[in-house]
């Protein structure tokens, strides 16, 4: 009998705990939600964060505040998330460089993207633009590869910093194409575009949002876009999946992605509630219109979908890290 009573007590405790978690999810949110961003205001991640914060506030009937904690390859924001309670009131809009690209090629990061966070929802993806300085006599990826092989050690490329998407994606492209370039790190994608327009940097990969105005002005030349399809705004520009003479470049899709993450150990009912709200926002006609206008693709899916998405991309970058040495 004592054993039976103990079993019943445990069962009752579990039931009460689950009921309490469910009640908290139903009551959530009872106060404003904070969405951390690991970049300064005005960038691509910040733009998506502010759009979704506004719409999530409407769906969840609360205020969602975007808090920019720039620096340290998003580590300042990540540490803020890791130290927060797992109650759903502190979230983090992460980019691919924090969740899979950086962790895939670095061993010095103080977190494990698969163990130290709660995946909530994939928010969106974006393609990148591979651009060249007008001083470089190439008009396509094929021509770039031929030129680089004929002129070894003569080319350079700019990135927005070591470990950034622009750095890692360019190295991926160079590895697949079998060519080399000297890496010149900057602090922002806009600096790459300025350097290329001036001719001090020859090649760069950037999110389309920041590159398009410079491309359209003729200050840089676009060679291709990452991903599997051409853009309506650039119908004559090849997608990397079409570059038949350099197979394997289609794997550079997406250029980056944006994922809403929570602290480790968030209750499942709470995660599902926020996930449903994000999916609702992603399906709103105004959200789709705004995202497409900025060349993002809104996403929907479950927390498990996001977990699998990150795992797949992480595996790709870990495999890549064994092939090259990144400086």
Per-residue pLDDT reduced to its tens digit, 157-172: 999 888 888 999 999 9
For 34-68, how does the pLDDT look when each residue is reduced to its tens digit (9 = 90+)?
Answer: 999 998 888 889 999 999 999 999 999 999 999 99
Distance CA 61, CA 29 (A): 8
Residue identified by tokens 């060249």 is 132
Q: Distance of CA 168 to CAs 33, 37, 216, Å? A: 32, 20, 25
**Euclidean distance between CA atoms 303 and 266, whole angstroms:** 12
Question: Which region among 6-20, 165-179, 228-242 has the lowest average model confidence (pLDDT)?
Answer: 6-20
More confident residue, 153 or 36: 36
Going from N- to C-terminal start, the domains of the chain cover: 31-126+256-321, 128-251
CATH number of 128-251: 3.40.190.10
Q: Is 205 helix (H, G, I), strand (E, B) or coil?
A: strand
Same fold, 31-126+256-321 and 128-251: yes
Q: How far is CA 228 from the centre of its chain?
A: 17
Q: Rounded to an integer, what distance in angstroms lies between the CA atom of residue 315 and that of residue 321?
A: 10
Neighbours of 218 (CB within 10 A): 9
Query: Residue 82: how many CA atoms within 13 Å on its side-chain side?
Result: 13
Range among 9-13, 80-84, 106-110, 245-249 with highest mean pLDDT value:
80-84
Q: Per the CATH hierarchy, to which homologous superfamily does domain 31-126+256-321 belong?
A: Bordetella uptake gene, domain 1 (3.40.190.150)
Helix (H, G, I), strand (E, B) or coil at 7: helix
């Amino acid at each position: 009998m004592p054993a039976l009573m103990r079993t019943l007590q445990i069962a009752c405790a579990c039931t009460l705990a689950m009921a309490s978690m469910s009640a908290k999810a139903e009551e959530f949110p009872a106060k404003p939600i904070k969405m951390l961003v690991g970049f300064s205001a005005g960038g691509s991640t910040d733009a998506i964060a502010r759009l979704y914060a506004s719409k999530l506030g409407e769906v969840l009937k609360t205020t969602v505040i975007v808090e920019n904690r720039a620096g340290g390859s998003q580590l300042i924001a990540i540490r803020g998330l890791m130290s927060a309670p797992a109650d759903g009131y502190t979230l983090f809009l992460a980019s691919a460089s924090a969740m899979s690209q950086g962790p895939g090629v670095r061993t010095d990061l103080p977190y494990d993207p698969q163990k130290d966070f709660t995946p909530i929802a994939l928010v969106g993806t974006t393609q990148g633009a591979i651009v060249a300085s007008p001083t470089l006599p190439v008009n396509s990826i094929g021509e770039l590869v031929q030129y680089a092989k004929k002129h070894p050690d003569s080319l350079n490329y700019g990135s927005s910093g070591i470990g950034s998407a622009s750095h890692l994606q360019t190295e991926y492209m160079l590895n697949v194409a079998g060519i080399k370039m000297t890496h010149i790190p900057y602090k922002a994608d806009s600096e790459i575009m300025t350097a290329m327009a001036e001719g001090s940097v020859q090649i760069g990969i950037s999110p389309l949002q920041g590159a398009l105005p410079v491309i359209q002005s003729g200050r840089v030349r676009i060679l291709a876009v990452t991903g599997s399809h051409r853009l309506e705004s650039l119908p004559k520009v090849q997608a990397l999946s079409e570059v038949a003479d350099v197979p394997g470049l289609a794997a550079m899709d997406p250029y980056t992605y944006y994922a809403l993450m929570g602290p480790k150990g968030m209750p499942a009912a709470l995660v599902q509630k926020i996930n449903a709200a994000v999916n609702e926002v992603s399906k709103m006609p105004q959200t789709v219109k705004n995202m497409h206008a900025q060349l993002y693709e809104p996403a929907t899916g479950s927390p498990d979908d996001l977990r699998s998405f990150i795992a797949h991309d992480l595996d790709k970058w870990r495999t890549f890290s064994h092939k090259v040495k990144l400086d």
